[in-house]
């Protein structure tokens, strides 16, 4: 009886062990095992997050692109897709496999020839080569046909290896993301770095990160870096109430930041084209003094959605108005009031002046005539305070400004429904190292996209 209990106990333990193994390995992420430890850049694509964010079922996703059903059924879309690159310019994509036969069938659509070798399926076309087993697939490219055979041993090694620690993968913010990316900034072309980043920027240990997320009523792409940008002439936006009284209410588009002109001017002079323009402008107006006087919130806006003849308005907080002292000596400038002027610059009239402690510059005569009339405007009503950058474009105003667009939308009610659900595009920076670009909707994203896909598929 005692032996029977022991045997029964052992069998139960074995069954529990088998069940536990099956549970934790029933749908494991085998593509992750392929990533090389020396990867310098990694991107992770989450098909499940995409499908869920868009309100799509897998079978419908395959019908969106013609003849892609086999690929969608062949790949395990419940698991991530990885892309990577190494220091040796070896780059590839790793996917989890669900059905090898359907995946091989799909490969023929991309001109892949296939063969079986050492228990693996190999596919190749003119610029890439792939290796497939029952769980995963590794595609390497671009690589010329004559160089492909030399890569087989390395690819086999990655397919067989146990999971490695990949330091760059740990730098990703994958929480709730549909797509995430991390790459070293020292891989950027030097001419790009010299043109757009501050001089002597240290990129040795700097990384660029990006992520795409689907929210309830937004699709947001965020990006950031680990570069030290503390020397930039930007500070958190204060939300200056007085500045709001100078700018128009409910602008079609705007961008807001807080800037120190004393720090900005030397940076502008480093750009050849801007330096030339500043020299030319200073012959007419004390532009250098004007820029140096800017210290605080700045807003550049398009009051109305007129894309053919856009009126642009810049309003800025000033620390002083010393540049007005020589106003009587300015050439090609006409005085319109005590601190209001108009100048002709390359055939365009530019209106500018000072109201209270705020500078305004605009190319629109109607905009200039309304400066300061919007007494009820309040900067604090805009989502700008404490951010380093805030920008917005009102989609509804854009659609409403063009009767032709409205006429076309009335013909196709489904399109009208999708367009009406779009709210605005926003760009924000909560710090000097991060930025978010977001499409915001009035209805849930799943509903908006679902209606659009229904229109495309005609069902």
pLDDT digits (tens, 9 = 90+) for 156-214: 999 999 999 999 998 888 888 999 999 887 766 666 665 666 666 777 778 889 999 99
Cα–Cα distance for residue pair 309/347, rounded to 1 Å = 14
Cα–Cα distance for residue pair 301/377, rounded to 1 Å = 14
CB–CB of 302/311 below 8 Å? yes
Residue 172: predicted pLDDT: 87
Residue 13: predicted pLDDT: 45
Q: Is 299 exposed, middle or buried (0-12, 13-18, 19+ CB in 10 A)?
A: buried
Residue 117: predicted pLDDT: 86
Residue 18: predicted pLDDT: 39
Residue 165: predicted pLDDT: 94
Residue 61: predicted pLDDT: 64
In this prediction, the residues of the chain whose per-residue pLDDT falls under 70 are 1-27, 58-67, 187-200, 241, 374-382, 406, 409-410, 454-459
Phi and psi of 159, rounded to 5°?
Answer: -70, -30
Q: What does the pLDDT look like over 325-352, one tens digit per residue?
A: 989 888 888 999 889 999 887 778 899 9
Residue 11: predicted pLDDT: 46
């Amino acid at each position: 009886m005692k032996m029977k209990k022991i045997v029964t106990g052992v069998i139960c333990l074995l069954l529990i062990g088998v069940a536990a193994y099956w549970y934790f390995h029933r749908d494991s992420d085998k593509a992750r095992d392929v990533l090389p430890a020396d990867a310098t850049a990694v991107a992770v694509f989450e098909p499940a997050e995409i499908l869920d964010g868009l309100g799509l079922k897998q079978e419908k996703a395959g019908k969106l692109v013609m003849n892609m059903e086999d690929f969608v059924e062949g790949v395990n879309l419940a698991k991530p897709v990885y892309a990577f690159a190494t220091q040796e310019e070896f780059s590839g994509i790793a996917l989890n496999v669900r059905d090898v036969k359907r995946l091989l069938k799909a490969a023929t659509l991309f001109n892949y020839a296939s063969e079986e070798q050492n228990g693996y399926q190999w596919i190749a076309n003119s610029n890439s080569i792939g290796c497939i087993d029952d769980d995963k697939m590794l595609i390497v490219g671009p690589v010329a046909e004559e160089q492909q055979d030399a890569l087989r041993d390395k690819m086999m090694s990655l397919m067989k290896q146990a999971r490695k620690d990949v330091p760059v993968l740990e730098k990703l913010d994958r929480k709730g993301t549909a797509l995430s990316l991390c790459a070293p900034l020292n891989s950027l072309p030097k001419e790009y770095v010299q043109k757009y980043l501050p001089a002597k920027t240290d990129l040795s240990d700097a990384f660029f990160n990006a992520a795409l997320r689907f929210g309830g009523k937004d699709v947001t792409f965020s990006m950031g870096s680990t570069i030290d940008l503390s020397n930039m002439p930007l500070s958190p936006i204060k939300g200056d109430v007085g500045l709001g009284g100078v700018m128009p209410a409910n602008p079609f588009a705007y961008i807001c930041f807080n800037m120190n002109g004393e720090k900005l001017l030397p940076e502008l002079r480093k750009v050849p084209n801007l330096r030339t323009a500043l020299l030319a402008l200073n012959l007419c107006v004390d532009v250098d003094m004007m820029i140096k006087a800017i210290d605080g919130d700045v807003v550049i806006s398009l009051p109305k959605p007129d894309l053919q003849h856009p009126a642009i308005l810049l309003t800025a907080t000033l620390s002083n108005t010393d540049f007005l002292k020589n106003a009587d000596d300015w050439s090609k400038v006409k005085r319109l009031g005590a601190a209001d002027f108009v100048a002709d610059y390359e055939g365009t009239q530019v209106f500018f002046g000072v109201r209270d402690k705020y500078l305004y510059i605009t190319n629109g005569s109607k905009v200039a005539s309304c400066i300061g009339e919007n007494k009820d405007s309040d900067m604090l009503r805009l989502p700008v305070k404490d951010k380093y950058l805030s920008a917005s474009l009102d989609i509804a105003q854009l659609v409403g400004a063009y009767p032709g667009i409205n006429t076309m939308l009335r013909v196709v009610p489904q399109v009208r429904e999708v367009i009406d659900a779009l709210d605005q595009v926003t760009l924000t920076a909560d710090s000097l190292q991060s930025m978010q670009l977001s499409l915001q909707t009035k209805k849930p994203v799943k509903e908006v996209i679902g209606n659009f896909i229904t229109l495309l598929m005609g069902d």
